[in-house]
């Protein structure tokens, strides 16, 4: 045989080592582990949703088969959303709590958006890069991680007592604003940071002032990201219970809050309250409340995703 052909054979053999099969097993094992992790997460969520839906649906659908003992009063979403709380689980609606949550969200949006975006724009675009700025940035990140009850305590001291707003929906809204402000500022700064520097330079090179460059080019480009951050902040605020209870939100409210200084309750507080009653029927009412809360969260998160997808490709 010629030496070349021998060499050739050898080199071919080195290609067939069986290594590939070995690697494939390792890979599939790894993938399998990942699938398990994902499945556990999804199954947990599904179980939760199934449990809540199957329990709470009684209060939201009229043709549900029930026992013969009592006629169910609340059996559709509209009634559930508009009826006052009651001593009887089948007559208890979430009206005041829903209204309270809407009030809270409106206050949170109107206060957080200007303050949050304002702070973010200042810190990201105008603040001198010095020790003080770094100190503020560090504190913002830490504030975003502070347990929410602490904000309740702060709200109680500042808004309820010091400012004299009482245990009102205004105090509640401002407390929640404090809670999500760091999150919104951080998200808005990220959105501003994502605007390429070439946009700033392009504007300045045309003779724009810093102010014009920031407010006419950079901020408009960052608005989708800022709004997304805002919506995600809101969806955190909507589920918060602890700070509101701490600052003194009421647990039983039998009226619709009509001014910012009205006493109020919110959906998660109401649900927490209902769950605490011993009678089994309250579980159904509470579940209906949870369904409402989940629905609101789903809508808000979808909105955030929609805004992101709709506008982000423009950059």
Cβ-based nearer residue to other proteins, 215 or 256: 215
- Compute the least distance from the CB of residue 195 to other proteins, in Å: 9
Cβ-based nearer residue to other proteins, 143 or 204: 204
Non-local CB neighbours of 188 within 8 Å, separated by 6+ positions: 116, 117, 119, 120, 121, 124, 222, 225, 226, 229, 230
- Compute the least distance from the CB of residue 129 to other proteins, in Å: 6
CA distance 196 to 217: 11
Cβ-based nearer residue to other proteins, 79 or 137: 137
Cβ-based nearer residue to other proteins, 196 or 276: 196
Residue 249: CA atoms inside 13 Å, Cβ hemisphere, count? Answer: 34
- Compute the least distance from the CB of residue 186 to other proteins, in Å: 22
Task: Using alpha carbons, list the distances in angstroms from residue 219 to 38, 182, 184.
Answer: 37, 19, 15
Task: Using alpha carbons, list the distances in angstroms from residue 47 to 61, 145, 296.
Answer: 21, 29, 19
- Compute the least distance from the CB of residue 222 to other proteins, in Å: 11
- Compute the least distance from the CB of residue 134 to other proteins, in Å: 14
The DSSP code for 62 is: T
CA distance 225 to 143: 21
The contact set with other proteins (CB under 8 A) reads: 129, 196, 198-209, 212, 216-217, 221, 314-315
Cβ-based nearer residue to other proteins, 41 or 205: 205
Residue 168 φ/ψ, nearest 5 degrees: -100, 170
Please give the sequence-ordered ranges of beta strands (E in DSSP) within the chain, or none if there are none: none
Cβ-based nearer residue to other proteins, 110 or 211: 211
Cβ-based nearer residue to other proteins, 115 or 311: 311
- Compute the least distance from the CB of residue 131 to other proteins, in Å: 15
Task: Using alpha carbons, list the distances in angstroms from residue 153 to 143, 196, 242.
Answer: 14, 41, 10
- Compute the least distance from the CB of residue 141 to other proteins, in Å: 22
CA distance 222 to 21: 49
3-state SS, residue 168: strand
């Amino acid at each position: 045989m010629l030496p070349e052909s021998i060499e050739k054979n050898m080199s071919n053999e080195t290609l067939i080592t069986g290594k590939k099969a070995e690697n494939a097993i390792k890979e599939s094992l790894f993938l399998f582990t990942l699938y398990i992790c994902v499945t556990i997460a999804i199954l947990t969520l599904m179980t939760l949703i199934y449990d809540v839906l199957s329990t709470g649906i009684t209060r939201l659908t009229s043709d549900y088969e029930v026992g013969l003992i009592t006629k169910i009063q609340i059996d559709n979403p509209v009634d559930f959303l508009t009826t006052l709380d009651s001593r009887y689980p089948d007559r208890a609606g979430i009206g005041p709590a829903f209204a309270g949550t809407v009030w809270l969200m409106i206050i949170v949006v109107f206060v957080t958006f200007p303050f949050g975006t304002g702070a973010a724009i200042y810190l990201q675009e105008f603040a001198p890069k010095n020790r003080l700025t770094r100190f503020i940035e560090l504190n913002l990140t830490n504030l975003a991680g502070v347990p929410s009850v602490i904000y309740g305590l702060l709200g109680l001291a500042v808004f309820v007592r010091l400012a004299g707003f009482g245990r009102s929906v205004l105090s509640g809204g401002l407390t929640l604003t404090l809670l999500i402000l760091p999150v919104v500022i951080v998200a808005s700064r990220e959105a501003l940071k994502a605007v390429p520097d070439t946009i700033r330079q392009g504007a300045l090179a045309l003779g724009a002032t810093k102010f014009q460059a920031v407010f006419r080019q950079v901020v408009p480009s960052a608005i989708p990201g800022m709004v997304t951050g805002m919506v995600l902040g809101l969806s955190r605020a909507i589920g918060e219970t602890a700070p509101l209870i701490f600052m003194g939100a009421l647990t039983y409210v039998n009226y619709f809050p009509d001014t910012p200084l009205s006493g109020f309750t919110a959906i998660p507080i109401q649900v927490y309250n209902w769950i605490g009653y011993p009678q089994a029927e309250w579980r159904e009412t509470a579940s209906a409340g949870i369904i409402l809360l989940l629905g609101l969260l789903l809508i808000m998160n979808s909105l955030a995703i929609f805004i992101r997808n709709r506008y982000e490709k423009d950059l």
